[in-house]
Structure 1
Amino acid sequence: MDIVSIESIAFIADGNYSSKYPRNDEFISEGVPFIRANNFENSTISDKDMLFISKEKHSTITKGHLKYNDVLITTRGNIGKTALVPKRHENSNINAQIVLLRCKENCYPKYLMHSFSIPFVKNQLDNNTTGTALKQLSVGNLRKIQIPLPPLATQKAIAEKLDKADALRKKDQELLKQYDELAQSIFIDMFGDPVQNEKGWDLINFEEVLKLKRGYDLPVQDRNQNGNIPVYGSNGILDYHTISKTNKPCIVTGRSGTIGKVHRTEQNCWPLNTTLYSYEIYDNNITYLEYLLNNLRIDRFAHGAGVPTLDRKIVHKEFIPNIKVELQNQFAEKIKNIEAQKELVKKQAEASENLFQALLQESFSFT
C-alpha cells in the first residue's frame, strides 16, 4: 500500500487572486458562479446564496476555473470540508477559502474526497493548520498531506460502498430538514409573519408576552461537568454544571456574538451572559414562543460592528401579534407530533452515521 502526497496525485489551485480578487461591486445577479464555503452542502455544491461574477472578470482569474469532478476543500475557517464539483458547475470559479484538487490518472475523485474524513488525514490537516482567530491551511502545507493510495479499482470500490452509506445519511438529514420546514410552514399558516402581521392580529407589547433577561457569567474553570444542568451559550449547549439559574422551561437566545439563534429547553439550565433568556412568559406556550422569536428575526435589532450585541430593551418595545393561548396550544400540539417523528428519524440518522463511520474505518483499515 502506497502512502502518497496530495501533490503527487492531483493538480492543486486556489481562489486567492490577490489584487484581482473580485470587489464587492463586481458581484452581479447572474453570471459565472463564484463558489464559497457556505455553498458546500452534502458533499456537493448548493446554489443557495450563490454569488456571481461577469464572464469578463472570470476570464481574468483563471487558476480557480473548475472542471467536473474536481474535489474542493476549505482551507480557511472551518478547514477540511469537502465537495465534489457537479456537471452544472463546470467552469465555475472559487473564492479564497477554497482549494481545488484535480485528480491525475491514478486517483479517483470520490475516493480522494472520502479520504479527508479518516483520522490519518484529519490529524495531518490539524497539525498543518496555522492561526488562532482565523485558522488557515496553506496550499504549500496541503500539498504535503499524505493519503493511502490503493489501486484504482480498489479506490472505486471503496468510494462506491461509502457513497451508498452516505446516501442513507443524507436521506435522514433531508427528512429532518423537511420536518423543520413543515413546522415552520404550520406556524406561518396559522399566524402569518409576525413582523408583517398580514393576518391583521391585534397587537400587544412584546414584554407583555415575554420578558428577556441577561444570562449569568460562569467561567469554564468554575463549571462542574459531572452535573446534568446544561450551560447555554448563544449557539446552544456549551457545557454542563450542577447548579441551574432557571427553575422552569425557558427560551435562550444570543445576546452577544451570535445573534438570532433560538433554543427552547424544557429543563432547568444556566444561561451564560452572552445570552438572553425568558424569565417571564406569563401563561403563554413555550413552544409557540420559540417559533415566535425565530420568526421575529430579532437579529435585525443587533448593533455594533466588531461584536454584534442585542439590547433586550429594544426588543421589549416591539409590538407583536396578540395570539390567544388556546391557539398557541393548538400549534404546540402539532409541533409535539412533528418532534415525536423527528426523534425516530434522529435515532435512524444516528444508526446511519454509525454505519458510515464503521464502513469508513473498515475501508481505510490499511492505514
Structure 2
Amino acid sequence: MNASFGAFCKVVRAKSIHSSFLKHMFQSPQYFSYIQNVVNGSNINNIKNEHINNFKIPVPSLKDQKKIAQILDDAAVLRNKTEQLIKEYDALAQSIFLDMFGDPVFNKFNFQKGIIRDLVKEAKYGTSEKASEEGQYPYLRMNNLTYEGYMDYSSMKYVNIPDKDLHKYLVEKGDLLFNRTNSKELVGKTAIFDSAEPMVIAGYLIRVRFNEKANPFFVKAYLNSKYGKLVLRNMCKSIVGMANINAQELQNILILHPPIELQNKFAERIALIEQQKELAKKELIECEDLFNCLLQKAFKGEFV
C-alpha cells in the first residue's frame, strides 16, 4: 500500500539494520531521554533530522538484531493482550449495565424515573486550599478521576486541613466523586472512591452520598454510560475554555430509579469484574516491567 506523510513526520528507511530492531530502539528510555535534551521550541518542541541521525544505538549482527527484535515483539504482544483484556472487562461492565437496566433512552423495563436529587443524602464541594508536595492528607484533584470512571492515585498532592473543617472535605470509601469543572470533553468525570486511606477533595470535585434508594455504583455506571456522557456534554456551561456543571445541575439530571435490590445485584457483579480486572492490571505491570527490562538490555548490548 502506498502512503504519504506530513511535514511533522520523518521516514527512516533501514538499510543495514533490521527495521523492527530499529523501531524498538526508538521506543527505548535512552531515546526519549536523548530527545528531551536536544529538542527546542517555545510552544512546540521540534526534532531536527540531525537529532535523529546523531542518535547512537548498538548495532549487533543482523542475525542478533532479528533475534532481539523477535523477543521484544513477543513481549510487546503479551503486554498488548493484557491491555486488551482490561478493555474487555470494561466493555463487559457496560454490557451488564445494559442487560440489567436497558438503554436509558428507551427504558424498556419501565423503571420509575426521577432526578438524581431524589437519591442524594448530601452533595458537598471540596476545598480550595492550595495543593503542595507535602501535607497531612492526600489531596484528590480532577486528574485523579479517569474519563472511564476510575480512581487514579498515581499523581498525588497533599494538603493540610484544620480538624474543625475536615468533615466537610474528607471522603469515605464508597463516596461518588464528580468532576464539576474541566474541559468540555472531560467535565463530568465520575468515579467511586475506593481507598481506605483518609483523603480530601479539591474544589473542582463534588462528593455525593446517597440515601437508601440508590447504590453509588449504579449512579456511577449511569453517568459513565454513553447516554450519561452525552447528557453531561450537552448540559455543561463553558467559561473561558473551561466547562462547569454545579452540584444543583448534577442533582437535576434525569435518572432511572430501578429497585435497590437490582442495583445491589449489579454492584455485586461489577465487584467480581473489578477483582479480575485488578489481577489483569498486576499482570500488565509485570508485562511492562519485563518489556522495559528487555529493552534496556537490548540498548546496552547485553542481549546477545
Shorter chain as denominator, the TM-score bin is 0.7 to 0.9
Which residue of structure 2 aligns with residue 229 of structure 1?
138
Task: Deviation per CA, 1:12-61: give whole Å up to 9, x if none.
Answer: xxxxxxxxxxxxxxxxxxxxxxxxxxxxxxxxxxxxxxxxxxxxxxxxxx
Retained in 2: the 8 A contact 1:128–1:137?
A: no
In structure 1, what is the Cα distance between the partners aligned to 2:126 and 2:141? Answer: 9
CA shift for structure 1 position 112:
2.0
Match among 42, 46, 49 for residue 137 of structure 1: 46
Retained in 2: the 8 A contact 1:302–1:308?
A: no
Matched, 1:281 2:210: yes
Matched, 1:209 2:123: no
CA shift for structure 1 position 116:
2.3
Which residue of structure 2 aligns with residue 270 of structure 1?
200
Task: Deviation per CA, 1:319-357: give whole Å up to 9, x if none.
Answer: 211122111100000011111111222222222122111
Match among 124, 129, 153 for residue 63 of structure 2: 153
State the aligned residue count. Answer: 273
Which residue of structure 1 aligns with residue 221 of structure 2?
291
Match among 11, 20, 25 for residue 115 of structure 1: 25
Amino acid of the structure 2 residue aligned with 1:327: L
**Which structure has more RCO (C-alpha within 8 Å, separation ≥ 6)?**
2
In structure 2, what is the Cα distance between the partners aligned to 1:113 and 1:101? Answer: 12
Residue aligned with 2:56, SS:
strand
Retained in 2: the 8 A contact 1:206–1:316?
A: yes
Amino acid of the structure 2 residue aligned with 1:91: N
TM-score (normalised: structure 1): 0.66
Which residue of structure 2 aligns with residue 171 of structure 1?
81
Task: Deviation per CA, 1:271-314: give whole Å up to 9, x if none.
Answer: 22233332x31222222222122121123322326423222233
Structure 2 unaligned blocks of 5 or more: 146-152
Amino acid of the structure 2 residue aligned with 1:355: L
In structure 2, what is the Cα distance between the partners aligned to 1:344 and 1:142? Answer: 41
Retained in 2: the 8 A contact 1:162–1:360?
A: yes
In structure 2, what is the Cα distance between the partners aligned to 1:192 and 1:161? Answer: 45
Residue aligned with 1:101, SS:
coil
CA shift for structure 1 position 114:
1.1
Return closer, same or farther for 1:206/1:93 CA change in 2, 3 Å cut-off: farther
In structure 2, what is the Cα distance between the partners aligned to 1:135 and 1:141? Answer: 18
Residue aligned with 1:104, SS:
coil
Amino acid of the structure 2 residue aligned with 1:266: D
In structure 1, what is the Cα distance between the partners aligned to 2:48 and 2:105? Answer: 46
Which residue of structure 2 aligns with residue 246 of structure 1?
170
Retained in 1: the 8 A contact 2:28–2:295?
A: yes
* 1:251-262 paired onto structure 2 within 5 Å: 251-257=176-182, 258-262=186-190
Retained in 2: the 8 A contact 1:254–1:274?
A: yes
TM-score (normalised: structure 2): 0.78
CA RMSD of superposed structures (Å): 2.7
CA shift for structure 1 position 144:
4.7
Return closer, same or farther for 1:93/1:271 CA change in 2, 3 Å cut-off: farther
Task: Deviation per CA, 1:69-119: give whole Å up to 9, x if none.
Answer: xxxxxxxxxxxxxxxxxxxxx3345566x5242323123222222112322
In structure 1, what is the Cα distance between the partners aligned to 2:10 and 2:133? Answer: 44
CA shift for structure 1 position 191:
1.0
Matched, 1:330 2:265: yes
Percent identity over the alignment? 26
Task: Deviation per CA, 1:183-227: give whole Å up to 9, x if none.
Answer: 110011111233553443221112222464432223233742xx6
Retained in 2: the 8 A contact 1:255–1:274?
A: yes
Match among 311, 316, 320 for residue 255 of structure 2: 320
In structure 1, what is the Cα distance between the partners aligned to 2:189 and 2:94? Answer: 15
Amino acid of the structure 2 residue aligned with 1:272: A
In structure 2, what is the Cα distance between the partners aligned to 1:184 and 1:251? Answer: 18
